[in-house]
Amino acid sequence: MIMNKFLFTIGLLLLLQSSIVYAKNKKEMESVLDRFLRYVVIDTKSDESSGVTPSTPGQRVLGEILVDELKAIGLSDAQIDSHGYVTATIPSTIDKDVPVVGFISHVDTSPDFSGKDVKPRVIKKYNGSDVVLNSLQDIVIKTNDFPEILKYQGQDLVVTDGSTLLGADDKAGVAEIMTAAAYLIKHPEIKHGKIRICFTPDEEIGEGADHFDVPSFGADFAYTMDGSEIGELEFENFNAAGATLTFHGRSVHPGYAKGKMINSMLVAHEFLNLLPEKETPAHTSGYQGFFHLLSFEGDVERTVLEFIIRDFDKQKFEERKKLIQDAVVQINAKYQPTTVKLDLEDQYSNMREKIEPVMHVVNIAKQAMEECGIKPIIKPIRGGTDGARLSYMGLPCPNIFAGGHNFHGRYEFVPVQSMEKAVEVIVKIAQINAANHD
């Protein structure tokens, strides 16, 4: 009886061990699509009002899942810190020192649209027609409105049911880095140096680099996998500032208000008329900057305007901020000195200044794309990424495509083949980095 119990226990242990090995192998064999579909159903929408990092609990949930998966594929140092940053190391497969390359993506999704109960759907061999996301609500990706979708005829597209965003920004990047890590661990014959991985929280609310420990990360340069269409390679972005303007009025009974009332909403409109009418996001593209009115809330007594100010050129950026300041002076001179209060704060700077001295980092990515059969699309980011701030923190960090389109809304989609190519590019960058130091 004792022997039978002993054998039974041994059998259970062996079964458990085989299950663990199978689970590990399953994770290693999992496709980038499989990973992506699992990640997007976790609600990781960030919240700029929370005051904590990560700003929402779902981000830590996904981070802890990623740590478990990284350990399962063989990255024993995988960890998540108190702020929700996930880090891990892919060990070198060569016996020489080469620069350490890093790959970074963010786990949060935009607060602009719901990320709860995401229901992804894969359209096999897209045929070039309009894509009906929800027939009952007539939610359709129309090719007339989104002609870029026609580039992907014959490919497989991941879309939503129209009630949420998809989360390709940036769970496509997360899935791509995870899949590349699994592939490199499974193929030690591929020659590469030490590789560092980081998944950050709260990028969508501008806080993704707030607690990033650059010295501890230990990379010489890195790439954010956070771009859009296949081929995108970006190393310049907006200079950015935020402005809050508070207008103070004077409320008087409207029947007796002549010469006494100051309607703060009308004063705010007067201020808006002092800004260039055509220098808004709806009227600009390429290297053109803009003023963007985010919100307008108020009544007679008090009105608050929230702006973002953007420009690639540093001098033009400073001129835009001065135009806001001069308009405030003009309004206060017309009414009274305390009519308008301006809070103006720089947010991030154009990374080009930090990338140009180390352009080989961009050239490595460009070569990797070309060797993977991808035409590089080098263009400025009309926005910002973690990489912009990290570049100024001492970690040069261009941005590479993750494959998605129409971020931050219900019409978001990502071609599966673009995600697969992004995995190839990650692997190729690691190889080229090692080969450059033979």
Cα dihedral 404→407→412→416 (10° resolution): 10
Between CA 296 and CA 245 the distance in angstroms is 10
- Return the active site residues: 108, 203
3-state secondary structure of 262: strand
CB neighbourhood size of 362 (10 A) = 20
Examine the domain organization and report whether 325 and 368 are in the same domain. no
The answer to whether residue 174 sits within a structural domain is: yes
**Residues 129, 207 within the same domain:** yes
Are 44 and 191 within one domain?
yes
Tokens linked to 428:
């190729």
CA 235 – CA 388 distance, rounded (Å): 8
Task: Tell me whether residue 6 is in a domain.
Answer: no
Statement to judge: residues 181 and 36 lie in one domain: yes
**Domain span at 326:** 239-347
Please give the mean pLDDT across all residues of the chain. Answer: 93
What confidence score (pLDDT) does residue 316 get? 98
Which of 301, 329, 347 marks a domain boundary?
A: 347
Q: What is the pLDDT of residue 29?
A: 58
Q: Is the pLDDT of residue 3 over 80?
A: no
Tell me whether the omega of the peptide bond preceding residue 213 falls within 30 degrees of 0, making it cis.
Answer: no
Least confident of 19-33, 96-110, 156-170: 19-33
Domain annotation covers residue 9: no
The number of folded domains in the chain is 2
Same domain, 214 and 155: yes
Tokens 């990973």 sit at which residue? Answer: 35
Tokens found for residue 27: 């994770």
Element (H, E) at 377: strand 377-378
Least confident of 23-32, 200-209, 234-243: 23-32
The yes-or-no verdict on residue 21 having pLDDT over 80 is no
Does one domain contain both 337 and 402? Answer: no
pLDDT digits (tens, 9 = 90+) for 306-355: 999 999 999 999 999 999 999 999 999 999 999 999 999 998 999 999 99
What CATH number is given to the structural domain containing 297?
3.30.70.360
Q: For position 384, what pLDDT does the model report?
A: 79
b/e 289-309 (16+ beta carbons within 10 angstroms → b)? bbbebeeeebebeebebebbb
Asked if residues 399 and 227 have their Cβ atoms less than 8 Å apart, the reply is yes
Higher model confidence: residue 27 or residue 58? 58
Query: How far apart, in whole angstroms, are the C-alpha atoms of residue 112 and residue 91?
Result: 38
- For residues 311 and 238, the answer to whether their CB atoms sit within 8 Å is yes
Same domain, 303 and 260: yes
Indicate the residue among 347, 368, 384 that finishes a domain. Answer: 347
Burial class (CB in 10 A: 0-12, 13-18, 19+), 317: buried
> Whole-angstrom Cα distance, residue 158 to residue 334?
55
* Residue percentage of the chain with pLDDT more than 90: 91
Q: How many residues comprise the chain?
A: 438
> Cα dihedral sign for 376, 199, 359, 241?
positive
334 and 369 both lie in a single domain: no
Looking at 312, 347, 382, the residue that finishes a domain is 347
Residue appearing with tokens 């879309």? 159
Residues 323 and 365 in one domain: no
| pLDDT at residue 5 tops 60 | no
pLDDT tens readout for residues 69-102: 999 999 999 999 999 999 999 999 999 999 999 9
Q: What angle do CA 242, 203, 152 make, to 5 degrees?
A: 110
Give yes or no: residues 291 and 369 share one domain: no
In a domain, 5, yes or no: no
Measure the CA–CA gap between 65 and 104, rounded to whole angstroms: 17
- Across the range 127-143, mean pLDDT stands at 96
pTM, whole model, 2 decimals? 0.85
What the block records as the tokens of 136 is 């009952």
Which residues are within 8 A (CB) of 303 and not within 5 positions of it... i.e. 6 or more apart?
Answer: 246, 247, 249, 264, 265, 267, 268, 296, 297
Q: Residue 36: which CATH number?
A: 3.40.630.10
Residue range 33-43: average pLDDT? 98
Give the C-alpha separation, 45 to 55, whole Å: 9
Q: Are residues 174 and 73 in the same domain?
A: yes
**Domain assignment present for 299:** yes
Q: Are residues 84 and 183 located together in one domain of the fold?
A: yes
250 forms bridges with which residues in the sheet? Answer: 262
356 φ, ψ to 5°? -55, -40
Mean pLDDT across the stretch 152-175? Answer: 98
Burial class (CB in 10 A: 0-12, 13-18, 19+), 366: middle
pLDDT of residue 437: 81
Kindly state whether residue 41 falls inside one of the protein's structural domains: yes
Confidence of residue 385 (pLDDT cuts 50, 70, 90): confident
Residue 11 belongs to a domain: no
> Is 387 in a helix, a strand, or coil?
helix
Residue 2 lies in a domain: no
